[in-house]
Amino acid sequence: MPEPAERSGTSGASPSPAAGGPAAAGGYDDRVARVALTWLAEPGNRAVWALVQRYGAAPALDRLIEAEPADRRLRASVTARSTLADARRFAETALRRGEQLGARVVVPGDAEWPHRVDDLATLELNVSGQVNRDVRPPLCFWVRGGRPLGETLDRSVAIVGARASTEYGVHVATDLASALAGAGWTVVSGGAFGIDAAAHRGAIAADGRTVAVLACGVERPYPAGNAAMFERIAEQGLIVSEWPIGAEPLRHRFLIRNRVIAAATAGAVMVEAAARSGATQTMSRVLSLGRPAMVVPGPVTSAMSVGCHAVLRGNPYARLVTSADDVLEEVGRIGEYLAEWPRGPEHRRDSLDEEAALVLEAVPRRGSSTPEKLAAVAGLDVRTVLRRLSLLELSGLVIRADDGVRLPPKRR
């Protein structure tokens, strides 16, 4: 495990002979290439991620720079950005600037890479059941703060919720974060006002670890009103982003960012949320990943608890929690009762009606299928298949991908 604390902001951005030379994964070229790729296309982009998986980051970047990509989706992903030739120059500049600002870049070859996020590799569901192109694992993380990223996230719980939180929500989020941080767990959240800020403040107050995952450059205090808090987080925990130094907090980036909050933690707690909020999307991803999706209830008279209650009503695998003890029970799998509780996909699979079970059985173990093929295999009409697929998707038992319907990745 490297000690980034000793040379904060440089261990990642400098050439690292230990990583196997400049061209190897985790080396300088790899790092530059990954930063360049997140500049060329949004993090999580399917086409770019597939290219990196196939050739490695530096060769993938070369291919993108040297030849106009033949792949339609790939071309669509990168043409929104400046010329390809600028990409490498941009990345090198960003890495140098990051070094000056105390920000390092962490890539999959590094010892501090948070491996849990790689579970996103096969996750393709978004809230509305549409294919989401931007759910692939991160190519790299920009990190501010002295602690090693992976170790910090190892025992971590996300606390997510509304910006327009009520006093109740702020109180609960602060208390929860304090207690979890006090119990040695890292709190993870975004950088917004409301529940996010309350969670960080609670963890800071308990002298615990907290991680802010941003949708812009790690040097950028957004929202500005939380600037002082970000400085405290960088001292006591970590500020993390997939976007390079200088990147702006564009609106669509928050949804892309949410998948990291879901994937990097051992479980997530939703404290307050309006109907159909960003937090609901995060919980949807948590459920799809088979991680504990925990929800704090509130007064049914409060608009800021509507989203929480909707998640609890809409998904039998969302768990109501009322305290840090409840949360630790869920993420820690402590006690026999919990171990017995039917929760995994293998159990969900057994609790379906006959038609849904037939549809699920028709989905191939590897690869994907179409509703039409499923209908033929299951001996049902397509309309029935489509309806059952919605239910199966909601339960996280199937996912819909570009190429059709497939089984989700195995629960860890």
User: Judged by CB under 8 A, does residue 336 bind a second copy?
Assistant: yes
Q: How far is the CB of 321 from a second copy (least distance, A)?
A: 8
Count Cβ atoms within 10 A of the Cβ of residue 207 and give its class: 0-12 exposed, 13-18 middle, 19 or more buried.
exposed
Q: How far is CA 391 from CA 312, 349, 359, in A?
A: 15, 12, 11
Beta strands per DSSP E along 177-255: 186-189, 210-214, 238-241
Q: Which of 326, 376, 386, 404 binds a second copy (CB under 8 A)?
A: 326
Q: How far is the CB of 167 from a second copy (least distance, A)?
A: 10
Q: With CB under 8 A, what is the number of residues at the site for a second copy?
A: 36
Is residue 159 close enough to count as binding a second copy by CB under 8 A? no
Cβ distance to a second copy smaller for residue 225 or 299: 299
Within 10 Å of residue 105's Cβ, how many Cβ atoms? Answer: 27
Q: Does 273 bind a second copy (CB under 8 A)?
A: no
**Is residue 393 near a second copy by the rule CB under 8 A?**
no
Applying CB under 8 A, does 353 fall inside the site for a second copy? Answer: yes
For residues 255 and 270, which CB has a smaller minimum distance to a second copy in the complex?
Answer: 270
- The alpha carbon torsion through 38, 39, 42, 47 (nearest 10 deg) reads -70
- CA separation for the pair 409, 45 (Å, rounded): 18
- Binding segment for a second copy among 1-9, 28-36, 186-194, 301-309 (CB under 8 A)? 301-309
Residue count (the chain): 412
Based on the shown chain and the rule CB under 8 A, indicate whether residue 121 belongs to the binding site for a second copy: no
Beta bridge partners of 160: 270
Q: Which residues are within 8 A (CB) of 229 and not within 5 positions of it... i.e. 6 or more apart? A: 197, 200, 201, 204
Identify the residue among 55, 320, 333, 403 touching a second copy (CB under 8 A). 320
- Of 78-86, 226-234, 280-288, 384-392, the window that binds a second copy (rule: CB under 8 A) is 384-392
Buried b / exposed e along 161-177 (16+ C-beta atoms within 10 A): bbbbbbebbbebbbebb
Is 337 a binding residue for a second copy by CB under 8 A? The answer is yes
Nearest to 52 by CA among 61, 44, 43: 61
Query: Where does this chain touch a second copy (CB under 8 A) — which range of 48-56, 141-149, 311-319, 404-412?
Result: 311-319
Confirm or reject binding of residue 347 to a second copy (CB under 8 A).
yes
Residue span binding a second copy (CB under 8 A) among the ranges 6-14, 75-83, 203-211, 342-350: 342-350
Q: How far apart are CB 322 and a second copy at their closest, in Å?
A: 4
Question: Candidates 165-173, 212-220, 246-254, 374-382 — which segment interacts with a second copy by CB under 8 A?
Answer: 165-173
366 binds a second copy (CB under 8 A): no
- In the block, residue with structure tokens 């909601």: 394
State the minimum distance, in angstroms, from the CB of residue 341 to a second copy: 8
Residues 309, 310, 312, CA angle at the centre, nearest 5°? 60
First to last CA, the chain: 23
Angle between helices 382-394 and 371-378 (to 10 degrees): 110
| DSSP helix/strand/coil, 351 | helix
| One of 364, 387, 401, 404 touching a second copy (CB under 8 A) | 387
Question: At its nearest, how many Å lie between a second copy and the CB of residue 232?
Answer: 26
Separation CA 302–CA 336 (nearest Å): 35
Structure-block tokens of residue 80:
């929104």
Is position 333 an interface residue for a second copy (rule: CB under 8 A)? no
Q: Are 109 and 184 in contact (CB under 8 A)?
A: no
- The span of 70-78, 97-105, 278-286, 352-360 binding a second copy (CB under 8 A) equals 352-360
Asked if residue 150 lies in contact with residue 165, where contact means CB atoms within 8 angstroms, the answer is: no
CB under 8 A: which stretch of 198-206, 244-252, 258-266, 298-306 binds a second copy? Answer: 298-306
- The residues facing 157 across adjacent strands are 187
Please select the residue that binds a second copy; options are 286, 304, 356, 380, rule is CB under 8 A. Answer: 356
- Which positions lie near a second copy, rule CB under 8 A? 168, 171-172, 296-301, 305-306, 309, 312-313, 316, 319-323, 326, 336-337, 340-342, 347-348, 350-353, 356, 387-388, 391
